[in-house]
A = this chain, B = another copy of it.
Amino acid sequence: MTRSVGGAEATAARLRAAISDGAYRPGTQLSEERLSDELGVSRNTLREAFRLLAQERLVEHVFHRGVFVRRLTTADVTDLYAARRVLETAGIHACTLDSPALTDAAAAVEAARLAAQDGQWALVGTADIRFHAALVRAVPSERLHVLMDSLLAEMRLAFLSTDDPAAFHADFVERNQAIVTALRTGDRDAAASLLGDYLDDAERTLVAAAGGSAPH
């Protein structure tokens, strides 16, 4: 289904990219009038785009006050990782040797490794995210896949809070590789254990980083 260039979907995509890139920092207000003028769309269309982004929890809709780029609290980070543990662990246990999810996960690790060699840190981060999304793909439920994509989009907000988002991802390339290796030998319990450690460490790092930013 193709949308017009000025449609709500396209507007949401532009804002999504801008937020992920850090152009609009967490906490900044997205004024309807200013943005509708800036992006060349009507207020109604912009409001529809806001609704899409609010659904993804990238922006926060405060009643009668406006729309703001979401600022994650430590509670948000904890919540996100609790959800990821459930989904990714289920993915590990549903992952068979011939599962396309395993192939995709392995490909993501390889892409991350190559990007790291070239110093393309943004690509490393994207590949890291793709790896975790691939794990959940082993569970045969598109609804869970959609949720996982949403959680990972929200994670990008957390990454923005770290001093060095690139280094954050780079540290985990080898650990992703270890998970793939365990899955390839059919040792799902070992893979689940490695994943659990991964998530614990990543959560600790991000909670520490988010601790500095005061809520609202």
Number of copies: 2
A101 to chain B, nearest CB (A): 14
Q: Find the B residue at minimum CB distance from A47.
A: B48
A151 to B143, CA, bound (A): 9
Which chain B residues border A144 with CB–CB below 8 Å?
82-83, 86
Contact indicator per residue, chain A 104-142, by CB within 8 Å of chain B (1) or not (0) = 000000000000000000000000000000000001111
Instruction: Tell me the interface secondary structure of chain A in the complex.
Output: helix
CB distance from A154 to the nearest CB of B (A): 8
A151 partner residues in chain B, CB cutoff 8 A:
143
List B contacts of A147 (CB < 8 A): 143, 147
* CB-nearest residue of chain B to A64: B1
A44 CB-CB contact with B under 8 Å: yes
Is A143's CB under 8 angstroms from B80's CB? yes
Measured CA separation A78–B87 after assembly (Å): 17
Partner of A86, one of B51, B63, B78, B86: B86
Tell me the complex Cα distance, A134–B214, Å: 32
Residue pair B82, A1 in contact (C-beta under 8 Å): no
Chain B residues near A80: list those with CB within 8 A: 141, 143
Q: Is B139's CB under 8 angstroms from A82's CB?
A: yes
In this assembly, does A30 line the interface, its C-beta being within 8 Å of a C-beta of chain B? no
- A141-161 vs B, Cβ < 8 Å mask (1 yes, 0 no): 111100100010000000000
Quick check: is A99 within 8 A (CB to CB) of the other chain?
Answer: no
Bound together, the chains give a CA A65 to CA B21 distance in angstroms of: 35
How long is the Cα–Cα vector from A11 to B179 in the complex, in angstroms? 48
Once the chains are docked, how many angstroms separate the CA of A33 from the CA of B201?
54
On whether the beta carbons of A140 and B86 are closer than 8 Å, the reply is: no
Q: What 3 A-B pairs are tightest by C-beta distance, nearest first?
A: A82-B141, A83-B141, A86-B90
Besides the known contacts A1-B63, A79-B141, A86-B144, 16 further A-B residue pairs in the complex with CB atoms under 8 A apart? A51-B51, A79-B142, A79-B143, A80-B141, A80-B143, A83-B141, A83-B143, A83-B144, A86-B86, A86-B87, A86-B139, A86-B141, A90-B90, A143-B147, A143-B151, A147-B147
